[in-house]
Chain A
Amino acid sequence: MKFREGMKTVCLCAAMLLLLMCGLGAWAQSQAAPAASAPAAAPAPPPAPAMDQPLDVKAAAPPSTDTLAAQGDPGGTSTGTVSDVVVSDTKKGLTLADVVNQAGQNRIAINLVWTLVTGFLVMFMQAGFALVETGLCRAKNANHTMMMNFMVYGFGLFAFWVCGFAIQMGGGAPYSTLGGAYSLNSEKVITLLGKPWGLFGTHGFFLSGATYDVGVMVLFLFQMVFMDTALTIVTGSCAERWKYACFAVSSVFMGAITYPLFANWAWGGGWLSQLGNNFGLGHGYCDFAGSGVVHAVGGLSAMALSMIIGPRIGKYNRDGKPNAIPGHDMVIVLTGCFILAFGWFGFNPGSTLAASGNGALRIGTIAVDTMLAGCTGSFGAILYMWLRYGKPDASMSGNGLLAGLVAITAPSGFVSTVGAAIIGFIAGVLVCVSVEFVDRVLKVDDPVGAISVHGTNGLWGVISVGLFADGTSNYGGSWNGVSGSVRGLFYGDASQLVAQLIGVGTLIGFIFTLSYVAGWIMDIIIGQRVKAEDELEGLDLPEMGALGYPEFVLKPETVTFSGVAAD
């Protein structure tokens, strides 16, 4: 005991001595440094060149055009020089103002090209959706299902051009990465309970007037292809019994009103995005590329219409037990999934609307997050199905990939790769559980699983921003007008989660209800569902006038069920 006490004292003294020596050393260093002598007076900087004075171009040694004409430039070392800078006044020659303006234009040009090309990728996702949905439906409905996915492009685009874009983006300017788009500066705002609530935009109908602008055009194209993704989701869950005329009317309504309203609230400067500014809730509702705006809107609208239309004949027995109605072509289903995964490289990274400035170099991280979430989504689904049913299921594996991609869409700009992998895996399991719940408990028929893939996992994606956003992104120093980086609950900001939950509540409480009421009215006026005999025959001939596979002999209905018999 005495020995221990003695050792303690010795160690304490040694530690104190060590500290003293370190302190002495540090003090000695600070004392030893000679006082810096006063710096010599710095020479006066040369006067800055005037912006409008001609520069000495010869000093930049531009290549001779005669030499280029005679020899070409195989190595590329003489192409793209001072000679290519646009000169505003050829009599005066190149000025510093010309060079500075060219730098600005180059930045905007990079951003416009990036946004356009990624928008083209998203447009191609329409083909992916068409293949997935058609493959998961029966062959007798192939033409009808394909035609819904084909024409939703035209119906949606037209509605968006007429009024949807104006409602969505008419008041959200400036869009600095695209040159400003300053004409989109009119938002309908009401003041309620002492706070401003942005409701919808009012500039940009028919893209006319001051919105006939290069930046606005690019923004329109990019937003339009996102809108169309939401619209096409509905066609999957309503397939095999939806009247084509009703599909057309529903698509126009959704492209003109339903989608643009929520998109304005989230992306167009509306009240949801301002929850941070107005109520101190994080950075307001954050949805980087649209888990909520696109996928949840589509999935919840799909659920509303599926409820109204009702299940396919033969889907449920009289006792409510569901029957599996397999699709006719798993090859095109999984090919469609790959096309969607490819297009998602436009969906998420493109949502920076920039590849230069404003933190846009994060596009690589966003792309990797997207890939990872899709990958772990398919893992989650295949594991769940394999463990539960003894076999890896192809259609659910595809849906698992899509669920992961849907879920990562909102958080892709704000999370790390670890966060993305976790979000995706949870999405993969969630989609399987949700499909079973919708099918067996709610008894809502969804031939392709759109409600679970897009609705359930769209909401999960929205919530995951409020959990996993890690505060490392920097898109120009602020988001939704609140300075700093988006941070979720796990990284210190619980209020961000609250903002996301209010977004979830708006999606299920308002958007679902709006879609439901609109669908209900259409059902009363037109009638959403086809006749029973048309449904049993297959919609290709009665609705479209032609078979999707005219040379195939389609086998008669083989689904065994008690209830309505198929002839």
Chain B
Amino acid sequence: MRIVGVVLALVGWLIPVVGLTITQSTSARFILALLGIAVTLFAIMGVLNKAHLKNAIWKS
């Protein structure tokens, strides 16, 4: 799951970066930037952090 989280976080970063070359519209780039941030935050908080909480020291 950690690898999935890492890959997803990188994908979230690349969405707005690649989007720069696809569209010249400021509004479209704005939406892609927000989308990318949302994907990365989900990867960090929803995937990576969850994987760590599964084996948290306070659960043992």
- Contacts of A313 on B, CB cut-off 8 Å? 57
Secondary structure class of chain A's binding surface, majority of residues:
helix
- Asked if A502 and B16 make an inter-chain contact with CB atoms under 8 angstroms apart, the answer reads yes
- For the side of the interface on A, what is the size category? 35 or more
Is B53 located at the chain interface by the 8 A CB criterion?
yes
Residues of chain B contacted by A193 (CB below 8 angstroms): 18, 21
- A513→B6 CA distance, assembly (Å): 6
Hey, which chain A residues are within 8 Å of B30, CB to CB? 494, 497-498, 501
Pick from B6, B9, B17, B57: contact of A508, CB under 8 Å: B9
Can you list 26 A-B pairs with a CB-CB distance of less than 8 A?
A193-B21, A281-B29, A307-B48, A307-B49, A310-B57, A313-B57, A320-B58, A443-B49, A498-B29, A501-B16, A501-B30, A502-B16, A502-B17, A502-B33, A504-B37, A505-B33, A505-B36, A508-B9, A509-B9, A509-B14, A509-B37, A510-B10, A512-B9, A513-B6, A517-B6, A564-B58
Q: Is the CB of A513 within 8 A of B9?
A: yes
User: Is A425 at the interface (CB under 8 A from chain B)?
Assistant: no
Contact check, A505 vs B12: say whether CB atoms are below 8 A apart: yes
**Interface of chain B, main secondary structure:** helix
7 closest A-B pairs by CB: A509-B13, A501-B33, A316-B58, A193-B21, A509-B40, A513-B9, A505-B36
Q: Which residues of A contact B (CB under 8 A)?
A: 193-195, 275, 279-281, 303, 307-308, 310-311, 313, 315-318, 320, 442-444, 494-495, 497-498, 501-502, 504-506, 508-510, 512-513, 516-517, 520, 563-564
With A501-B33, A505-B33 given, can you name 4 additional A-B contacts, CB distance below 8 Å? Answer: A307-B49, A502-B20, A509-B13, A509-B14
Name B's A-contacting residues (CB within 8 A): 2, 6, 9-10, 12-18, 20-21, 24, 26, 29-30, 33-34, 36-37, 40-41, 44-45, 48-49, 52-53, 56-59
Q: Tell me which residues across on chain B come within 8 A of A517, comparing CB atoms.
A: 6
Contact A311 B33 (CB under 8 A): no
Whether the pair B58, A516 counts as a contact (CB closer than 8 A) is no
Flag if B49 contacts A444 (CB, 8 Å): yes
Contact, CB under 8 Å: A318 / B16:
no
- Would B33 and A513 count as touching, CB distance under 8 A? no
Determine the chain A residues whose CB is within 8 A of the CB of B24 once the complex forms. 279-280
Smallest distance from the beta carbon of A133 to chain B beta carbons, Å?
22
B59 to chain A, nearest CB (A): 7
